[in-house]
Structure 1
Amino acid sequence: MRLLDIRNLTVRFATRNGAFTAVDGVDLTVDGDEVLAIVGESGSGKSVAMLAIMGLLPWTATITADRMDFCGQDLRKLSAKARRSVIGRDMAMIFQEPMSSLNPCFTVGFQIAESLKAHLGLSRSARKARCIDLLEKVGIPDPARRLGMFPHQLSGGMSQRVMIAMAISCNPKLLIADEPTTALDVTIQAQILDLLLDLRKETGMGLVLITHDMGVVAETASRVVVQYAGRQVETNTTAELFAGRHHPYTDALMAALPERATQRRLPAIPGVVPGQFDRPAGCTFSPRCAFVFDDCHTIVPRKASPALGQALCHTPLIGGVPSARTLEPAREPA
């Protein structure tokens, strides 16, 4: 069953110097019981795209899409009240930085119980019992006592588990995890990922995992979307993506993995993700690409065939080298 179907999602933010496009023409589908990973550097628009779907962006954001369906419902046409009944219950999100996402003024038990009261209408005693069950499910010891604690009394890993408990409290159909292992040590990262995968198997929910860690992607995801500067540059199954990358950016990300490094010095991608004032006219990756040619600076590339991972590139890589299209003469910009 298809849970999420997004077509041509674009997010623009109004600024003093005009509009800045943070997400540019993103397509996304998530099926039930699927783990989809969205990867890319900071500034690639991963979190903004998901926050747009959740309806959590500020008023300065303008969101457009040809399609934005969740479980057959058109999110674009839902009223604010109807959308609030969906968000938090059927579609939930684990935010970055749990220490700043949790309200320091309220106990964790109160914060978990809020969604239970709003979406399920449970009584006070039923909410407390459900909260204890949730904390126990996410592996927090002595859950009854932890309910009365404030966020600053918990460790980073325990705070992340509280965030997961809040997100799954209403048994959502789709869970979006925005870099759930950021700022956690390696052993806690593994525990959190195992917990999310176990919960997915137990409940059958779809899982969208936003990350920049390709090792995490290899272990957890069935399909991968690679984003760069707000655009999707490659989409493929995890096995096929690791077997043969077709976009130079994906290839550069893979080369930067320590376990894949063949040289003494770890390879790095030169430059930074373009911002509002230095966005290239053609391919957004052209200033940093090792395979750039004339057309890349002036013409926005089209998506390649699914056999090439829908790579957004004039010359998708085949076997680690650009395709023969690099031999074509440069065209004048339209």
Structure 2
Amino acid sequence: MKEPLLSIRNLSVTFATSRGPFKAVDGVDLDVAEGELVAIVGESGSGKSVAMLAVMGLLPWTAKVSADRLAFGNRDLLTLSARERRKIIGHDIAMIFQEPMSSLNPCFTVGFQIREAMAAHLDLSSAERQKRAVELLDLVGIPEPERRLKAFPHQLSGGMSQRVMIAMALACSPKLIIADEPTTALDVTIQAQILDLLLRLQKESGVGLVLITHDMGVVAETSQRVCVQYAGQQIEMQGTRGLFADPHHPYTAALLDALPERASGRLLPSIPGVVPGLADRPAGCLFSPRCRFATDTCRTVPPSRASAALGLALCHYPLKDGVPQHREFAL
């Protein structure tokens, strides 16, 4: 079997706070192959972005990252020096952030920022970097690319700025792109354009793509596999078609039930409560205070992971056709 581009096993990220350590990511596993699109979904506070920032090495000093395996190809990202990591990040692995206006430096033109990435990783002359920058802006659908390269970020719209971020990510022809909610700050029409652009570029170049999103509709249309996270934990991993047809974790089922196109009554279903933080984490299953199937066991005993046939659900009673199962079913 071909080795995945990105391989993560038991990834955890713990932050030091004034109230004690807080585990923002707890036991995440993920493989991403060349040409594959994997979606990571979950509410805000589920640790989606933090997990991928750990891969990029962009977390603050207060974060402690640990994993049984965190590898890009045959390179162990945990043991790389800062200098060695910088050769990979931005070249082989690129990230598109969700807020382009806060990710682009307001003091420099977009052309300077695109060329800066190439200067750090590619052996190109100044003229070659300029030519490549023009090609990139044209590739992502920005008109008059030569003129736009001279613009500052505040002179561009949100959609244009996000296209510049995508151009920067593509500048060094990466093998893996992490897109962190790349359409959150954009209106619906521009969202569709940006997603279509990302998918087209991904198919044409064959890069692996990790898409962090809240939009289950986007997930259904684009991804091959879906990782569902809740309160820092990976609670389900399934192929996209299987996940939408038969979700195995109650949280996944509740997310899908809340989709407008699945609602049957006058009121849109919702999940009561909020994602637990540092001070209100339950002793057992982290979803138990919000789960309609929760028992005393769920509230007091942390669950173990079910079999692959049940979506690797982190649940005492994973669902099958909407019905909770005893764990013997998974053995």
Deviation at 1:321, TM superposition (A): 1.7
Aligned equivalent of 2:85: 83
TM-score between the two structures when normalised by the length of structure 2: 0.97
Aligned equivalent of 2:285: 283
Deviation at 1:185, TM superposition (A): 1.4
Aligned equivalent of 2:135: 133
Aligned equivalent of 2:196: 194
Please give the secondary structure, in 2, of the residue aligned with 1:184. Answer: coil
The C-alpha deviation readout for 1:54-74, integer Å capped at 9, x for no partner, is: 000000000000001101111
Is residue 2:152 matched to residue 1:150? yes
Is residue 2:10 matched to residue 1:15? no
CA distance in 2, matches of 1:69, 1:140: 35
Aligned equivalent of 2:56: 54
Aligned equivalent of 2:5: 3
Please give the secondary structure, in 1, of the residue aligned with 2:150. Answer: coil
The C-alpha deviation readout for 1:204-260, integer Å capped at 9, x for no partner, is: 100000001100000100000000000001000000001101000000000110111
- For this pair of structures, how many residues does the alignment match? 326
Residues 24 and 47, structure 2, Cα contact 8 Å, conserved in 1: yes
Please give the secondary structure, in 2, of the residue aligned with 1:311. Answer: coil
CA distance in 2, matches of 1:283, 1:42: 18
TM-score between the two structures when normalised by the length of structure 1: 0.96
* Residue identity (%): 70
Aligned equivalent of 2:126: 124
Q: One-letter code of the match for 2:33?
A: D
CA distance in 2, matches of 1:129, 1:239: 42
CA distance in 2, matches of 1:12, 1:145: 45
Q: One-letter code of the match for 1:248?
A: P
Aligned equivalent of 2:182: 180
Within 5 Å, which residues of 2 pair with 1:229-268? 229-268=231-270
Gaps of 5+ in 1: 327-334
Aligned equivalent of 2:47: 45
Aligned equivalent of 1:332: none
Q: One-letter code of the match for 1:290?
A: R
Q: One-letter code of the match for 1:164?
A: I
CA distance in 2, matches of 1:91, 1:188: 25
Task: Name segments (4+ residues, structure 1) moved above 6 Å.
Answer: none
Aligned equivalent of 2:224: 222
Aligned equivalent of 2:322: 320
CA distance in 2, matches of 1:149, 1:40: 36
Of 312, 315, 320, which residue of structure 2 is paired with 1:310? 312
Deviation at 1:324, TM superposition (A): 4.1
Of 55, 63, 73, which residue of structure 1 is paired with 2:75? 73
Aligned equivalent of 2:99: 97
